[in-house]
Amino acid sequence: MAKVPADIPAAPGALPLAGHLRQLLRDPLGFVSGLPAHGDLVRVRFGPMTIVVVCDLETTLRVLRDDRIFDKGGLLYDRSRVVLGNGLITCPHADHRRQRRVLQPAFSSERLSRYAPVMTAHAREAAEQWHDGQIIDVNKLMMQLTERIIAEVMFSDALAPAALSTALDDLGVVIPGIIRSMIMPPQLAWLPTPADRRFRRAHTRLRATLGEIIAERRADHADRGDLFSAMLSTAAASREDDDGPLTDTEAIDQAVSFFVAGTETTSSGLAWALYALGRHPEICERVRAEVDEVLGGRPGTYADVPRLELTGRVVTEALRAWPPAGWLLTRTVARDVRLGGHDLPAGTTLGYSPYVIHHRPDLYPAPDRFAPERWDAAHRPRREAFIAFGFGARRCIGDQFAFAEVVLALAVLVARWRFEPLPGPDVRPSVAAGLAPHRLRMRVADHR
């Protein structure tokens, strides 16, 4: 483990062995948002592990721009590599350019236009299942919705309903297992507990299912218009001496990575947007009016996304206020470097936090206020200051996909239902690898 320079200020309140773990477990967001008060780079200790958290925008952007020196790695990614393999999310710089080139066409506008009707159709199906006055578990239902969407977008009809249901069940075990492994102390992360055994079983079966689909697709070479076809066909088309096609193991790693990256994040984004609209019924009414005017009752398409302007601003503001992927993301320093006035040795773990940046009052005045109007053309913040999807070469490949999905699903849900908060204490964010509204329950009231 690299020795972190002593001239970097330490966050206060570290205990001898645990470091800042107690503060972090008790109030992670309060803890990270207090860090900028101590400097642009701040030392934080999780037990024996020290990480340097970058707290200002310019240094964060420098780290994210230079992915050769500030490579994927550190706490979050080293652990998830065990499960996600060497897919796009976790791979080091050395493998990244090739993988990204091979996968990018699967997210082209033309492909997204084909995926959008799937998003709308599943949102409509979900919305039809509720009844007036029902209290819904928002996280759970949004997770089911985003899982169904990604499964169909990825595999279209490749999975028979029973196999799809097993794959979704497996995914429901694998995702929390990965998240658990990321946030647990290393000694406890893979203990052979019943939960770990369940995880291993589900993980093995999910990879086997994906392996079978790949074998079929490779055999018939048909492009079925889904993400998996796009991934395999562009990979096959790439020149051997340049990018080289994806191996089966790599293709499975990518598929698992898309599942993991594309479900929990998007469902949290959707859940936070519904939460915000429930607390701001006047904004919700305006969103509904916009949806009625733009769509007039027809299903939304990819071309409608930019037309749903206010809906989009609500989604952007929800992603700013509660960035689903990012209260703390990590990098590893690949060679000795000077950063923010300090010399960092190779091997230092850095952390960056979209949450911290999005709550800096110098970038976002009154950062705790939910204010979609900050995204009006007249006073839009600096583009680089919005890092819910990261920044630079490792920026989210699914950003347009996710934005379209949240906007289109929100349009369907809000047109059909009013989402009312329940009395009681305000909802807290639950912080695991990402940021989701903890036990968010809301009452749905028929709007038609």
Find the shortest distance in angstroms from Cβ 433 to ligand HEM.
Answer: 11
- How far apart CA 50 and CA 332 sit, in angstroms, is 12
CB of 445 to ligand HEM, least distance (A): 26
**Token code pair at residue 321:** 């206020």
Nearer to ligand HEM (CB atom), residue 41 or residue 256: 256
Q: Which is nearer to ligand HEM, 142 or 329 (CB)?
A: 329
325 is an interface residue for ligand HEM by CB under 6 A: yes
Closer to ligand HEM by CB, 33 or 267: give it. Answer: 267
The least distance separating ligand HEM from the CB of residue 362, rounded to whole angstroms, comes to 21
| β-pairing verdict for 49-54 and 349-352 | parallel
Q: Does 329 bind ligand HEM (CB under 6 A)?
A: yes
Q: With contacts defined by CB under 6 A, name the span among 8-16, 256-264, 294-302, 376-384 that binds ligand HEM.
A: 256-264
CB 438 within 8 A of CB 427: yes
At its nearest, how many Å lie between ligand HEM and the CB of residue 315? 9
Task: Please pick, from the candidates 55, 89, 182, 235, the single residue that binds ligand HEM as defined by CB under 6 A.
Answer: 89
Asked if residue 91 belongs to a known ligand binding site, the reply is no
Q: Which residue lies nearer to ligand HEM by CB, 407 or 427?
A: 407
Q: Does 36 bind ligand HEM (CB under 6 A)?
A: no
Q: Does 266 participate in binding ligand HEM (rule CB under 6 A)?
A: yes
Q: Judged by CB under 6 A, which of 50, 265, 332, 353 binds ligand HEM?
A: 265
The burial class, CB within 10 Å (0-12 / 13-18 / 19+), for 373 is exposed
* Among the residue ranges 12-20, 172-180, 292-300, 395-403, the one whose residues contact ligand HEM (CB under 6 A): 395-403
In whole angstroms, what is the distance from residue 340 CA to residue 40 CA?
7
In the numeric block, which tokens belong to residue 276?
A: 């915000």
Return the CA Rg of the chain. Answer: 22
For residue 256, state whether it binds ligand HEM (rule: CB under 6 A): no
In whole angstroms, the minimum distance from the beta carbon of 204 to ligand HEM comes to: 22
Establish if 312 lies at the interface with ligand HEM (CB under 6 A): no
Under rule CB under 6 A, residue 398 binds ligand HEM: yes
Choices 24-32, 49-57, 110-118, 259-267 (CB under 6 A): range interacting with ligand HEM:
259-267
Q: Please identify, among the stretches 158-166, 171-179, 301-309, 388-396, the one whose residues bind ligand HEM according to the rule CB under 6 A.
A: 388-396
Count residues near ligand HEM (CB under 6 A): 24
- SS (HEC) of the chain: CCCCCCCCCECCCCECCCECHHHHHHCHHHHHHHHHHHCCEEEEEECCEEEEEECCHHHHHHHHHCCCCEEECCHHHHHHHHHHCCCCCCCCHHHHHHHHHHHHHHHCHHHHHHHHHHHHHHHHHHHCCCCCCCEEEHHHHHHHHHHHHHHHHHHCCCCCHHHHHHHHHHHHHHHHHHHHHHHCCHHHHCCCCHHHHHHHHHHHHHHHHHHHHHHHHHHHCCCCCCHHHHHHHHHHHCCCCCCCCCCHHHHHHHHHHHHHHHHHHHHHHHHHHHHHHHHCHHHHHHHHHHHHHHHCCCCCCHHHHHHCHHHHHHHHHHHHHCCCCCCCEEEEECCCEEECCEEECCCCEEEECHHHHHCCCCCCCCCCCCCHHHHCHHHCCCHHHCCCCCCHHHCCCCHHHHHHHHHHHHHHHHHHEEEEECCCCCCCEEECCCEEECCCEEEEEECC
Q: Of the listed pieces 208-216, 231-239, 257-265, 360-368, which binds ligand HEM according to CB under 6 A? A: 257-265
Stretch that binds ligand HEM, among 44-52, 178-186, 258-266, 411-419 (CB under 6 A): 258-266
Q: Which stretch binds ligand HEM (CB under 6 A): 133-141, 167-175, 261-269, 373-381?
A: 261-269
Q: Is 80 in the site for ligand HEM (CB under 6 A)?
A: no
* Nearest residue (CB) to ligand HEM, 272 versus 419: 272
Residues 434 and 265 sit within 8 Å (Cβ to Cβ) = yes
Contact between 262 and ligand HEM by CB under 6 A: the answer reads yes
Q: Is 51 in the site for ligand HEM (CB under 6 A)?
A: no
Query: Measured from the CB of residue 206, what is the shortest distance to ligand HEM in angstroms?
Result: 16
The residues near 237 (Cβ < 8 Å, ≥ 6 apart) are none
Taking CB under 6 A as the rule, does residue 351 contact ligand HEM? no
Pick from 29, 54, 88, 414: which binds ligand HEM (CB under 6 A)?
88
Annotation: binding site for heme? 396
Residue ranges for the binding site? 396
Interaction site with ligand HEM (CB under 6 A): 88-89, 100, 257-258, 261-262, 265-266, 269, 319, 324-326, 329, 388-390, 394, 396-398, 401-402
